[in-house]
A and B are shown apart, each in its own frame.
Chain A
Amino acid sequence: MKVKDLMIRDITAVFAEQRVKDVIKICAKQLFTGLPVVDEEMKVIGFISESDIISGAVPSYYSMLQSASFIPDTNQFKRNLNKIKEKPVSEFMTKPRVVKEMDSAIYAADLLIRNGWRVLSVVDEEEKLVGVVTRMRLLWGIINSPNI
């Protein structure tokens, strides 16, 4: 089974110069957990996920804490999020998470599991975005596959 058999053929993406709040808006409306970041030719240059935005908005000492119960309330998070929402995507995006259409589904699953990612961008031979593949899409595809 190949990535092309399981991918979602949707090329919703953002530019690196777009604002963080654009990402939140698109993801909330389209039920995505993150978006590919592309250049003007639609080559994938990064990825921005809900986790990247949350990490950018939680207090800097948060990563040293064992539990969120040490944080008194959500006000600081809200203040931070309001600060970063107008900032460009480029400040929070991570490296491209890509697979090719002809890659095997198991390779995509391995990438998702090893890295704890939820979504991979699918690109063509020119590294241009052609769709995405999600964890659930992989699971759904595999249980519905007659060959397994």
Chain B
Amino acid sequence: MEVLTVTMNPALDREIFLDGFEINKLHRIFDPSKMDMTPGGKGINVSMALANFGVKNVAMGVLAGYMGRVIEEELRKYSELITTNFVHTNGESRENITIMDEVNQTITEINAPGPTLDEETIEQFFQRYEMTLSRVSHVVISGTVPPGVPMDFYKTLSNVASKKGKIVLMEARGQLLTNAILSEGCPKIVKPDLRADRKCLGIELKNIDDYVKVSKIILERGADLVVLSYEIIKNVVATHEGIWLLDTSQQVDISHVLGTGDTYVAGILYYLLRRDKDLFEASKFGYIAAVAKLRYSKKIFPSIKEIEIIRDNIKVERIV
């Protein structure tokens, strides 16, 4: 195992492709391929994408109830390269149902809540996390946390891993991320999650100067690579050597964004583990991996071969 992924709030993602969907009507589905059931949550998605790239990893987090057992089983079925190590607790893990109607061009989503974690569960997770750190070189801490998890939790996870010499990659938002960045063990790779709001460290990201400003602050705090999504398809990438804007010449369908950020993260790690330690080159590889993911409407992760085919379709502009 080379990578440990943390998903504190996993979900079972169920996608139903139902043309002519209407409320107040019985819909029968006769074709099983129109229904998809996949384990979800940002860290779990990274685990799945890494497995596609041939990288052995261990998925950790907290699962709950029957739904939790289904998520775990589906994850293990997905690839032999994924090892599970989840704490199980009371309640039920989240279930996200998406009804895609390609005729009416509608997406209907029903998201169930996850469990509330008690102190004992969090402590148990932490114990197992520390135990598992000895087995990996890289740690991915990604996504939201369920109720009950303190806002300094990601900071603690990052600090413990950094002290043990592990490279931490964090994709999160709000106070969870801010606390981790402002701590002594700031993650080496930071990818703020800007999907809900274009804000990081309390700074609103309105124009490119704001992106540069935030990137510089995160680098000063101890990160070596910062990745910020910019105008949907573009990305601002910052290292101690400079700041760049990445774009693609590839024709893409931006409605297929589910899992692209996670593919990006997996792409960076794959590059660092299998190719070279150059962080800027790794971020370019991650970016093009995410572009390759955009080919699929479903949560299907690309192969390395698919990424290599479009590898040159990247436009790089130096900003700073």
Q: Does A114 contact B (CB under 8 A)?
A: no
**Judging by beta carbons under 8 Å apart, are A11 and B85 in contact?**
yes
- Complex CA gap A104/B144 in Å reads 42
Q: Given B76, B89, B128, B135, which contacts A9 in the complex, CB threshold below 8 Å?
A: B76
- Nearest Cβ distance between residue A146 and chain B, in whole angstroms? 18
Asked whether A42 and B88 contact (CB < 8 A) given A9-B83, A11-B58, the answer is no
Q: Give the residues from 4 to 46 in chain B that come closer than 8 angstroms, CB to CB, to chain A.
A: none
Say whether A10 faces chain B, with CB atoms less than 8 Å apart: yes
Assembled-state Cα–Cα distance A11/B86 (Å): 9
List the A side residues contacting B86 at CB < 8 Å: 12
The minimal Cβ–Cβ distance linking B257 to chain A, given in whole angstroms, is: 30
B130-141 vs A: 1/0 string, CB under 8 Å? Answer: 011011000000
Question: Would A12 and B89 be within 8 Å (CB), given that A41-B134, A42-B135, A128-B135 are in contact?
Answer: no
B84 and A9 contact, CB distance less than 8 A: yes
Q: Identify the interface centre among B58, B69, B80, B131: most chain A CB within 10 Å of its CB.
A: B131
Interface size class of A (residues with CB under 8 A): 10 to 19
Let me know if B226 is at the binding interface, CB within 8 A: no
- Check B76 against A26 for contact (C-beta < 8 Å): no
**A-facing mask of B106-137, CB < 8 A → 1, else 0?**
00000000000000000010011001101100
Q: Does A30 contact B (CB under 8 A)?
A: yes
* Smallest CB separation, A134 vs chain B (Å): 13
B289-320 residues at the A interface, CB under 8 angstroms: none
Shortest CB–CB separation between residue A36 and chain B, in angstroms? 11
Are B84 and A26 in contact, with the CB atoms below 8 A? no
User: Which partner residue on chain A sits nearest B131 by CB separation?
Assistant: A42
A12 and B85 contacting across the interface, CB-CB below 8 Å? yes
**Which residues of chain B are within 8 angstroms of A15 by Cβ–Cβ distance?**
127, 131
Q: How far is the CB of B29 from the nearest CB of chain A, in Å?
A: 28
Within 8 Å by CB of B131, from A8, A13, A29, A30, lies: A13
Contacts of B124 in A (CB 8 A): 22
A110 within 8 A of B: no
A38 to B80, CA, bound (A): 22
- Asked if B227 is at the interface (CB within 8 A of a chain A CB), the reply is no
Q: Any chain A CB within 8 A of the CB of B82?
A: yes
Return B164 CB to nearest CB of chain A, in Å: 11
A26 to chain B, nearest CB (A): 7
Task: List, in ascending order, chain B residues with CB within 8 A of A13's CB.
Answer: 131
Which residues on B sit within 8 Å (CB–CB) of A29? 88-89
**A1-59: which have CB < 8 Å to B?**
8-13, 15, 22, 26, 29-31, 38, 40-42
The closest CB in chain B to the CB of A26 belongs to B88
Q: Which residues of B contact A131 (CB under 8 A)?
A: 83
A89 within 8 A of B: no
Question: Which residues of chain B come closer than 8 Å to A8, judged between CB atoms?
Answer: 76
Whether A123 is near chain B, meaning CB under 8 Å from some CB there, is no
Closest Cβ of chain B to A39, distance in Å, is 9
A99 an interface residue at 8 Å Cβ cutoff?
Answer: no
Contacts of A105 in B (CB 8 A): none
Q: Which residues of A contact B72 (CB under 8 A)?
A: 10
Cβ contact within 8 Å between A10 and B83? yes
Measured between beta carbons, the chain B residues less than 8 angstroms from A138 are none
Q: What CA separation (Å) do A12 and B85 show in the bound complex?
A: 5
Interface residues, chain B, with chain A CB atoms under 8 Å away: 58, 69, 72, 76, 80, 82-86, 88-89, 124, 127-128, 131-132, 134-135
- For the complex of A and B, list the 8 residue pairs with the smallest distance between their C-beta atoms, beginning with the closest: A29-B88, A9-B83, A10-B84, A11-B85, A41-B134, A30-B88, A11-B83, A9-B76
Q: List, sorted by A's number, 10 A–B pairs whose CB atoms are closer than 8 Å.
A: A9-B84, A10-B83, A11-B58, A11-B85, A12-B84, A12-B85, A15-B131, A22-B124, A30-B69, A30-B88
Can you name 12 extra interface pairs (CB under 8 A) apart from A11-B58, A31-B69?
A9-B76, A9-B80, A9-B82, A9-B83, A10-B72, A12-B84, A12-B128, A15-B131, A22-B124, A29-B88, A40-B131, A42-B134
